[in-house]
Amino acid sequence: MLELIETGFLSILNIETIVIVFIGVALGLVFGAIPGLTAVMAIAICLPITFGMTPINGLSLLMGLYIGGVSGGFIPSVLLNIPGTPASIASTFDGYPMAQKGEAGRAFALTIVFSFLAGLLSLLVLIFISPVLASVAIQLSPFEYFAITVFALTMITSLSDGSMLKGLIAGMLGISLATVGFAPIDSYPRFTFGLPELEAGFNVLPVLIGLFAITEILKTSSDRKQIETKSIQTAYRLKDLGLSFSYFFKQKWNWLRSTAIGVIVGILPGLGGSAANIISYVTAKNQSKHPETFGKGNPAGVVAAESSNNAAIGGALVPLLSIGIPGDGVTALLVGGLMLHGLNPGPLLFEQNGEVMYGIFAALLLANAFMALLLIIGMRFFIRVLHVPRHVLLPIIVVLCVIGAFGVNNRLFDALVLVLCGVIGYIFAKLKFPVMPIVLGFILGPILETNLRRGLMHSNGDFLPFVTSPIAAAFLLLAAGSFLMAIYKNRKRSATV
């Protein structure tokens, strides 16, 4: 293996490949930073370009786009309270409050350091123990995936800081929105009301951008004081941030736990960085001695969110390269990229094309380093967005959001969904309903339903295997315990008030 690793690094240590990786990361950061433009879109656009390249150069470009696209999503999350990608949703919770307190530079520094370290650790996992982890993941049946998703859905209670009932209502709304369109497995149309536009359901990006971006714009626009507020002054030079080694070292366990969650969730097909982002954030909040500070600019929230989504990159590549199963939209496109260059993902990939694969691993490590370097260089320019007057910035954001929503499927309908979700989010904010449970329900709802139906097909309609499987039973017990604990805390909080 050491010889293959050495050969892999030697294959990319040339000017052409290094420049290609650098360009890929830079383009990925741009796509991730613009709401609606994701790593999926970046890879889809650039995939034909790789046709004339060598396998290592072509796949190095795609890997650079992947890492840059995921990492760039935190930029608008921190500065504008708009998740650039679905994998950066939880980054808005504490990143934006930090920016509003003039600590955007610290938020960026934390993100750069821990994203780099999490990505590095996950890639080492990919290189050294991916076959073992993939063999475990492939043995999980729909019963286990259903139970894991149920457990993840109980985190709605942790995201409902006010009324638990309001959080549950919001979560059910998210699940309901996810049921619109063709049903999984049998593709039966549901809640389409005869409209062809609804047959494909609601795309996740217009819903997310609407609930976060348009809602935030409507809230800001309705408050004249916020419109007239002067730009936020914040430090952006590393020497002016007042950071020390001990400041980062305090987050070591939070980083390690969030990275582990990102790798594990990334390995499980169908979940991906968006689920890892939320799960790690909620876990960090529940494990904190001061959970009430989360959502108000707690650095631990930023570390948890950004460590997990970068760690999910290495995790998602484990089943893709080891057994040929893509876990999300990005890895599905990467399958096309591999096959375009005559590489068939699966157990024989390492035996037949070992030098190319370790060259890709080396390109991933190089792309991770370029990601940190570009963010450090660009931090001072990104943060200057906070100096732009609101009456100038908001219309630009609206235009970018509409372009991003329209560009997902080139449908005007998605732009209308963007506006509708923005209005819903604004109404919920006024009524003090949490918006995050809507997103969690919308993302996890289809995963829950798909695995429920697959499990019932596997067991011929018998629900018993859902509770007799040891792993499934363990997660269902954890879900029940989490829910009961949330009820107890909610009653205790109500009694105190």
231 located within any domain:
no
DSSP string for residues in 233-251: P---SGGGTT--HHHHHTT
Q: How far is CA 194 from CA 318, 331, 424, 434, 446, in A?
A: 41, 33, 23, 31, 22
CA atoms within 13 A on the CB side of 193: 4
Q: Which of 183, 141, 242 is nearest to 455 (CA)?
A: 141
pLDDT at 235: 47
The Cα 462–Cα 371 span in angstroms is 49
Rounded Cα–Cα distance for residues 14 and 84 (Å): 32
Report helix, strand or coil for 182: strand
Stretch among 70-79, 230-239, 387-396, 462-471 having the lowest mean pLDDT:
230-239
Contact 308, 280 (CB under 8 A): yes
Does residue 229 belong to any structural domain of this protein?
no
d(CA 67, CA 335) in angstroms, rounded, equals 16
Q: List residues bridging with 25 in a β-sheet.
A: none
Q: Are 451 and 142 in contact (CB under 8 A)?
A: yes
CA separation for the pair 151, 265 (Å, rounded): 13
**pLDDT tens-digit map of 422-431:** 899 889 888 8
Element (H, E) at 189: strand 189-190
- Mean pLDDT on 261-270: 79
- Report the C-alpha gap between 72 and 292 in whole angstroms: 28
- Per the structure, the count of domains in the chain is 1
Q: What is the pLDDT of residue 239?
A: 52
Torsional class of 295: left (φ above 0), alpha (ψ -120 to 50), beta (otherwise): left
- Give me the domain span that covers residue 130: 1-223+240-496
Task: Tell whether 234 is covered by a domain.
Answer: no
pLDDT of residue 230: 47
In this prediction, residue 323 carries a pLDDT of 65
Residue 233 domain-assigned?
Answer: no
Instruction: Give alpha helix (H) positions in 384-411.
Output: 390-409
pLDDT in tens, 317-329: 877 777 666 666 6
Across 215-231, average pLDDT: 65
Of 1 and 173, more confident = 173
Cβ contact 181:199 at 8 Å: yes
CB burial of 219-238 (b: ≥16 within 10 Å; e: otherwise) equals: ebeeeeeeeeeeebebbbee
> Where are the alpha helices (H) located in 90-103, listed in sequence order?
91-100
CA distances from 397 to 91, 150, 210 (A): 18, 35, 12
Query: Would you mind telling me the total number of residues written for the chain in this entry?
Result: 497
48-62, 113-127, 206-220: least confidently modelled range = 206-220
Q: Position of tokens 């005559």?
A: 342
CA 410 to chain centre: 23
pLDDT of residue 51: 79
pLDDT given for residue 19 in this prediction: 93
Residue type, 202: F
Using a 10 angstrom Cβ sphere, with 0-12 exposed, 13-18 middle and 19 or more buried, the burial of residue 243 is middle
140-162 mean pLDDT: 76
- Supply the pLDDT for residue 370: 93
Q: What percent of the chain has pLDDT over 90?
A: 5
pLDDT higher than 60, residue 134: no
CB 77 within 8 A of CB 86: no
What does the mean pLDDT of the chain come to? 80
Task: Judge contact between 251 and 303, C-beta under 8 A.
Answer: yes
Task: Calculate what percentage of the chain has a pLDDT beyond 70.
Answer: 84
Q: How far apart are CA 45 and CA 54, in angstroms?
A: 18
CA distances from 485 to 114, 481, 493 (A): 31, 6, 12
Instruction: Dump pLDDT digits (tens) for 82-107.
Output: 777 777 888 888 888 888 888 888 88
pTM of the model: 0.73
Calpha distance 37→208 (Å, rounded):
12
Q: Give the pLDDT of residue 493.
A: 61
Burial category of 492 from C-beta neighbours within 10 Å (exposed 0-12, middle 13-18, buried 19 and up):
exposed
